[in-house]
Amino acid sequence: MNKKVLAINSSKRKRNTYGLLIDIKEQFEKINIDVDIINLHDYNIELCTGCESCILKDKCFLDDDMDMLMNKLQQYDGIILSTPIYLNNISGKLKMFIDRTCRWVHRPALAGIPIMNVVTTSSSGIKNTLKYMDNVAVQWGAFPTDNISRKVTTVKEKVQPKEYENFVKHIMMDKKLYKPSIEQLIYFSVSKVLALKVIKRDAKYWEDKGWLSKNYFYDSKINIFKKVIANRFYKMLYKKVNRVEE
């Protein structure tokens, strides 16, 4: 069966960013990977009200398409997040979407799903934007892979297979062969301490997933030095954070 990728566009226009997604879709279909492209502007996504109910009660009281979209993301073997660069960062629509996924920072739902980012810009903001997007993927428990960027002067250039080879490799490979970065291991430790000491709902989720006794979300090839650093960080943080009784 073909692998499935969800490509999320967040520009209202079907222009530069969308053009790259279409190019990627056509190339992926030749290597038996199906790509569904969606546009966040086609969905009703309300602004986060900041009530924190999603974090504390696992419920959002806004009635819109977010639950459906968050379920949808979990059905795919890989995700492409894309955005035009606005004021040196992601589009507002993508930020609205990301803010509403806040519960995933505590109770990650995309563990092991590879993510590739695609951004277009007139000229500035690529590094800053991709750094932020990679960090979001890590906080979701997902696995950041390749980043594709184009300026308006190069946006018509075909995407080269080497630009997405890492993404495709991770879609195809056994998760046991994944090599989490130190940033991923540290975020795992932070979330685990929050689960054990701060939010009871998180503890239950982490226990059900079997993560409380793990160094990472799943068995993977963790470099020994990174493992030692992450373990030390975890122990230090665990001691420092006071238990919150709800």
Binding site for ligand FMN (CB under 6 A): 11, 13, 15-18, 84-88, 120-125, 152
Residue 96 CB, shortest distance to ligand FMN, in Å, is 15
- Is the CB of 15 or the CB of 169 nearer to ligand FMN? 15
CA separation, residue 71 to residues 8, 67, 104, 107, 136 (Å):
14, 6, 12, 14, 17
Give whichever of 118 and 185 is closer to ligand FMN, judged by the CB atom.
118
- Minimum CB distance to ligand FMN, residue 156 (Å): 11
Smallest separation (angstroms) from ligand FMN to the CB of 118: 10
CB 64 within 8 A of CB 71: no
Nearer to ligand FMN, 95 or 226 (CB): 95
d(CA 107, CA 206) in angstroms, rounded, equals: 7
Nearer to ligand FMN, 17 or 189 (CB): 17
Q: Which is nearer to ligand FMN, 122 or 231 (CB)?
A: 122
**Cβ at position 25, least distance to ligand FMN in Å:** 15
> Shortest gap between Cβ of 147 and ligand FMN (angstroms)?
15
Sheet holding 33-39, edge to edge: 33-39, 3-9, 78-84, 114-121, 143-151
